[in-house]
Amino acid sequence: MMVNATLRQFKVFEMVARHLSFTRAAEELFLTQPAVSMQIKQLEDNLGLVLFERLGRKIYLTEAGKEIYRLSREITIKLEETASVIDEMKGSEGGHLVVSVASTVQYFAIRLLAGFRQHYPNVNLSLKVTNRKKLLQLLEQNETDIVLMGTPPENCDLKYEFLLDNPLVIIAPPNHPLQNQKNISLETLKNHTFLMREQGSGTRTSVEKFFAERGISVSASMEMNNNSAIKLGVETGLGLGIVSSHTIDTELESGRLIVLDVEEFPLMRKWYMVRREGKRLSAMGCAFEEFVRSEKQRFVRIA
């Protein structure tokens, strides 16, 4: 019967269902694979339902498994909200706040969080930096309170508001042959190699769409999963890069990088502050949102 199922069994089930892998679930839960399999077997016995089916070497959720996964996620979210409410009722000025940001936002976000910490020194902050695809997963799985990212998709159950403009610029080493040219044509860039962000990055998606709409094909010699690696690669002469203007103030001041004057650039994008629709933020979460709205301009260092 359902009453015999334990929260631990549901936690293990959620992890297996999320990854569709007993091995990955065991790694994240710091359990052995047999222990994970045993928890799933006990849960299936308690429910009287088969939750997974095997096809070859892969596992899939059954229809019953999909429904139980949806319900268990709702239970987990409510339990997390309950813990947050209890902390507030205890009058704590601390609490735990998880902020997740796109990698292009991390420089701004770190300064922002440092400023917030000065106002709320007892808050326990977690900062997750990743690409757009992973940010949407974190929101879907309710594993973050607030996200700072590029334009979110409209078909998701999300609440968002404009944060800042995010100009994308083309960077080069200071001795690059195009350093002194003005209004460089996009056609000229076809002869140069670019260092690109990985697939799933919002910057990569925007850049590819921009060039494709203009019938321009650029050579991406290397993929890198963060802006720091791209800046270092450009600095050492591996190719040109396209990054947020918010991320290069230090390199420009020191003369390690330059911004090329290219037609139709900067490529203007926007950042947004995002959370799940209907998510009940803690007192710290609400305080952070208000801090961002009122103080964000103090932490902008745009090149």
Say what the pLDDT of residue 233 is: 94
Side-chain-facing half-sphere of 299: CA atoms under 13 Å: 20
Same domain, 256 and 285: no
Contact 97, 119 (CB under 8 A): no
* Helix or strand (DSSP H, E) at 165: strand 158-172
Same domain, 170 and 219: yes
Closest by CA position to 172, among listed 96, 284, 79, 252: 252
Contact 178, 188 (CB under 8 A): yes
Q: Retrieve residue 250's tokens.
A: 């230090």
Say what the pLDDT of residue 94 is: 58
Say what the pLDDT of residue 1 is: 43
Same domain, 15 and 147: no
Say what the pLDDT of residue 69 is: 92
* Helix or strand (DSSP H, E) at 205: helix 202-213
Contact 274, 158 (CB under 8 A): yes
Contact 198, 224 (CB under 8 A): yes
Contact 173, 234 (CB under 8 A): yes
Say what the pLDDT of residue 90 is: 54
Residues 198-222 pLDDT 10s: 887 888 888 889 988 998 887 777 8
Same domain, 274 and 263: no
Same domain, 204 and 136: no
Same domain, 175 and 254: yes
Contact 293, 162 (CB under 8 A): no
The pTM is what? 0.68
Among candidate residues 69, 86, 103, the one where a domain is terminated: 86
Say what the pLDDT of residue 296 is: 95
Domain of 171?
Answer: 165-268
Among candidate residues 61, 86, 111, the one where a domain is terminated: 86
Say what the pLDDT of residue 235 is: 94
Q: Please state the separation of Cα 176 from the chain's center in Å.
A: 33
Same domain, 276 and 212: no
Among candidate residues 86, 102, 123, the one where a domain is terminated: 86
Alpha-carbon distance of 300 to 34, in angstroms, equals 50
Mean pLDDT per 10-residue interval, the chain, length 303 residues: 71 92 91 92 91 90 93 81 66 74 92 93 90 90 92 85 95 94 92 86 87 84 85 94 92 95 94 90 88 94 72
Alpha-carbon distance of 2 to 54, in angstroms, equals 24
Tally the domains of the chain.
3
Closest by CA position to 84, among listed 290, 293, 286: 286
Same domain, 154 and 234: no
Alpha-carbon distance of 42 to 51, in angstroms, equals 11
Same domain, 81 and 97: no
User: How far is residue 48 from each of residues 3, 5, 6, 10, 122, measured CA to CA in Å?
Assistant: 12, 11, 14, 14, 46
Say what the pLDDT of residue 225 is: 81
CATH of the domain at 55: 1.10.10.10
CATH of the domain at 277: 3.40.190.10
Say what the pLDDT of residue 303 is: 61
Say what the pLDDT of residue 162 is: 95
Same domain, 245 and 170: yes
Alpha-carbon distance of 197 to 222, in angstroms, equals 8
Same domain, 258 and 115: no
Same domain, 250 and 191: yes
